[in-house]
Structure formats: C-alpha cells, structure tokens
Structure 1
Amino acid sequence: MKIDVVSLSQKYGNLQVLHDVSFTADAGEVVALLGPNGSGKSTLIKTIADILPPASGKILIDGADTAAIDPIDRAKLIGYVPQYFHYTPFTTVLDTVLIGRRPYMSWSVTDEDLIAVDKSLATMHVTDLADRFVNELSGGQRQRVFIARTLAQQPAFYLFDEPTSSLDLRHQLETASTMQKIVHEENSCMIIALHDLNLALRYTDKVVMLKDGSIYSCGTPEEVLTEEAVRDVYGVCAEIVENDHGRFILSYAPSNV
C-alpha cells in the first residue's frame, strides 16, 4: 500500500500554508517531515489525516481519494498521534489504549481487542501503568500511552506529529527504533514530523524537507540532510560527521554569525 500526496495546498483563511506539495510514502517506509517551525509539518500531517480538508490537491491511498473512503474504513487504515493530546481525566491507561480498537468494535470488547492492547502496552513499555489514570502521568508517559493507543489500532499508515517531543533521550531512541522496526516488519508505513535531524538520519527511510510550506528536497536521509540544506532551511551552520556508530549532524552556530 502507499499514500500519494498530490499537488496539495492548504490555507488558514487567506494565509497560504502549504504550496503544491507532492510526495509518495510506500509500504515499509518511515518518512520524516522536516523543517523549521512554521514550515507546514503539522498542517501537512493533519491534512493527510483528514482533520483538515485540502484547499486543493488530493491524498490518495492506493489510488483512492481518502475523502471518499468511509470514516470507519479510514480509521482502520490511518492512525494519528497529534502533537498535543486531549484526554479525559480519571481515565485509566488501559481504557485509553483500548479506544484505539474502536474502529473494530461492535457491542463488546473481544479477546482480539485485549490481545492487541496488551501487545501495544508492552511494546511501549507502559504495561505497569495500565491501571493508572492518564492525568497522573508525566508528559512523556502520556506520550507513550497515546502511541500505544495508535499501535492497538493496527493501521496500515501511522501519522505522528513530533511524537518524541516530550520524551527523554533514552525513550526518544527507543521509540524511534521501535517504530522503525514495526514499520519494516509489518510492511506498514509511517509519516512522522520531527525536529531532531539525527533521529531522521538514523531511523527513517525517506525525508521530505519543507521550507516556507513548499518541498525543499525529498529523498533518502543521506541525500537530503546535507550541510548546505541545513544551512539553507534552518539557518544554522552544520557539519556531517561519521564514526563507528553512524552518521551524525553537528549544528554549531547560526549561519549569519
């Protein structure tokens, strides 16, 4: 399966936010959306998730316009984790993750639903939090719970908007590695908005770099994440270094200094 973003534009009132954006995300790929604040990453994620209707252009899943897909069927295909979470206080972690099974439920919870929830809790290392209320958790713990909810949904496509922003360093690396493994093993697909260039360089298969609402570059992480691109898009000087652990980007000063 694949998602095709075709000549997509988006507006907030008279403000043009996205300009003629086109790219493809294939099964088995983790696709990073990169760019500075205000470049359109979150708006693009929300538009692909059908939270915002496109101003123009289309989102296609295997050639079918997502706007024409039944909402229940679309919920089985696309799982979305927003940048900011809305939750009901005094709801347990278990019940929160179980909500991810809603597209599959009829009148009662099945053994299949519970198995999916248990697996998702274990994958995100939050099984021990299952009976805790969500409002009692730290921001990072809540973030892992909402990722687990989306895993329980078992979609073909994951849309994540800065899912590591509240996580500490260890859980950033664990989450990025876990999601890459899931996508590759299940032959699913993930489109993920990130700020951390090194996470994108290490854990993604394709990078779409945005600047001022347009695509600056699209390709493999090694092709897109160059010293010149970091300077042009982010306005900082950077150096690409390699060692036994891989390839890394060191940013060290604004480019006008």
Structure 2
Amino acid sequence: MGEHGFSLAQLAAGYPGRPVLQDVCLQRVPPGTLVAVVGPNAVGKSTLLKAVAGLRPVRGQVWLEGIDLATLPPRERLRRVGYLPQALPQSSSLVAYETWQSALRASRSEWTAAQREAAIESVVDSLGLQALALRRLDELSGGQRQMVGLAQVIVRAPRLLLLDEPTSALDLRWQLQVLQAVRALVQQQGTVGLVAVHDLNLALRFCQHVLVLGGGGVLAEGDPAQVLTPALLQRAYGVQARVERCSQGSLLVLADAALPL
C-alpha cells in the first residue's frame, strides 16, 4: 500500500449474529482529505467508524500512512486515531479545560506542560470555544458539550479523525464553524478525516471525497460532485432528487419526493 494517506481493503464488521458491513473498500485518499461517510439510517456508518477506531471486531485491513492499524498496540493506535462518537460527553462537574488536559495526559504523556497548553489554546481558537473553557460540563447545553467533545479529540493531534455526526446537536452557525475548522485542520496538518453526516449539502460543501454506504457495502465513492447524482440518490435513499448549482456556484441536493418502497 502507499506510504501516505488512508485506505480500506475488504473490511467487514458488525455485531454478534448480525453482520453489518462486508467487503468495504476505499481507494487511497491522500493526506489533507476530508471524507464524508453518507447513506441512509442503519447502513453502517457508525459501525464503520467504530471498526476503524478499533472499537468493533473487524476483518480486512485499515491502512494509515503505510501501516495496518490492526498491527498496532492499543496505546499507539490511540495516539494515531481520534474518534468522536454520536453520544455526547457525559455531564460532570469538570470544566471543559480539565477534560482537554485529561485527553492529553492519556494520549500525549510525552508532551511538556507548555506543549499541552499550546495545543489547547490552538484548538480553542480554531473552534471558537473561549467562552466554554472554564464552564462546567453540567452547565452546558448538548451542542456545547458536543463542541467540548470534538475539542478533546482534535487536541490530541491524531493522524486520522473519525467524527460520527459531529454537527448533530449544533445550530447552523456552529455546523459551519465546526466543518470549516475540521477541514482547515486536516489540510494544514496533512491528516485524513472521516465524517459521518446526514446533510448531503454539508458533504458537498466541505468534503473532497465521499463514501456512500448501502446494502451492507459501498454503493459509490469518489469526488462528491461526481458521485452524488440523481440516480445515486434514488438508489441509496429512495428519493427523487436534483443536484443543482446555487447562485454562488455551489452544488446543492434538492430532494423532491420520497419514492414508494
């Protein structure tokens, strides 16, 4: 496999007695790429991210920068892979800053105190979280806790980001803020990000690659502008839809009708 980027080869994953994904392949995506993982409910988007993160049993190969992640000890995998689940961080009396420090102590123990401080400051600035840094988690809204959880993942500087619906609890402004920041981070650090999203217009706007799941495997992958066609949307989602350009030139998915099952 190539020494740079990320790819999947014949990946299979699921739960005892219930296989979810079979023979999932993703061509090598280069460093600096944000990949949208899309598809209807219950097709395995979360299962895929958990499998790549090492949280579910998996067959096949997960390649990151020339290394099969399955061959790494858990601590080294934790250093390289950052995973944000759908579940919000638990409410607690800890302030946000303390959770970020804890994340660094667990995964970046070799960093000095000054390095940890600098990493936190950088992430707080990029995500616009200055007002939350000294707030207790049990005082925060669901969307604010989601932002704190995202910062916990990003601050560790992983080489692979796995974000499971990171905008699900956020309003419109924060959805844009998060994906702008994640895309910039991935590009600046030369990492790879996989983002499970339901909003196809966010995928079109912020992601350079898309992986469409359905039927236990991959329906399509590639450039979102080429992959997300009316025919693919009908096959994947069972909808009649259009893909058109807005007045500013951005592509938009417009769903007109749900088709009979």
- The TM-score bracket by the shorter chain reads over 0.9
- 1:226 maps to amino acid: T
Equivalences for residues 203-214 of structure 1 within 5 A: 203-214=206-217
Is 2:210 aligned against 1:188? no
Which letter does structure 1 place at the counterpart of 2:257? A
Pick one of 205, 209, 220 that aligns with 1:202: 205
**Equivalents in 2 of 1:38, 1:212: separation in Å?**
10
Written as runs of structure 1 = structure 2, the 5 A alignment for 1:22-171 is 22-23=25-26, 24-54=28-58, 56-87=59-90, 89-101=92-104, 102-105=106-109, 110-171=113-174
Deviation readout 1:19-58 (Å, 9 max, x if unpaired): 100113321100111000111100000000011120x212
Whole-angstrom distance in 2 between the partners of 1:86 and 1:179: 19
Q: CA 1:173/1:88 → structure 2, altered by over 3 Å: closer, same or farther?
A: closer
Give yes or no for contact 1:237–1:251 (8 Å, CA) kept in 2: yes
Does structure 1 retain, via aligned residues, the 8 Å contact 2:6–2:29?
A: yes
CA deviation string 1:92-120 (max 9, x = no partner): 100112223121126x9611101111211
TM-score by length of 2: 0.93
Q: Does 2:174 correspond to 1:176?
A: no
Contact 2:240 2:259 in 1 (8 A): yes
Runs (4+) off by over 3 Å: none
Tell me how far 1:83 sits from its aligned partner.
0.7
CA distance, structure 2, for counterparts of residue 121 and residue 9 of structure 1: 37
The amino acid across from 2:84 in the alignment is V
| C-alpha contact (below 8 Å) 1:28/1:186 kept by paired residues | yes
Q: Which runs of 5+ in 1 are unaligned?
A: none
Aligned-residue offset at 1:168 = 0.3
Counterpart among 248, 251, 254 of residue 255 in structure 2: 251
Equivalences, count:
255
Q: Is the 1:123–1:148 Cα contact (8 Å) retained in structure 2?
A: no
Report percent identity of matched pairs.
32
Unaligned runs of 5+ in 2: none
Which amino acid in structure 2 is aligned with residue 5 of structure 1? L
Query: How far did residue 88 of structure 1 move?
Result: 5.5
> Following the alignment from structure 1 to structure 2, what is the Cα–Cα distance between the partners of residues 127 and 70?
35
- 3-state SS of 1:118 partner: helix
Counterpart code for 2:240: C
After the TM superposition, which of the residue ranges 22-31 and 187-196 deviates more from structure 2? 22-31
Q: What amino acid maps onto 1:71 in structure 2? A: P
Counterpart amino acid of residue 52 in structure 2: I
User: AA paired with 2:195?
Assistant: I
- Whether the 8 Å CA contact 1:120–1:149 is kept in 2: the answer is no
Are 2:231 and 1:234 aligned?
no
Residues of 1 paired with 2:109 and 2:256: CA distance?
51
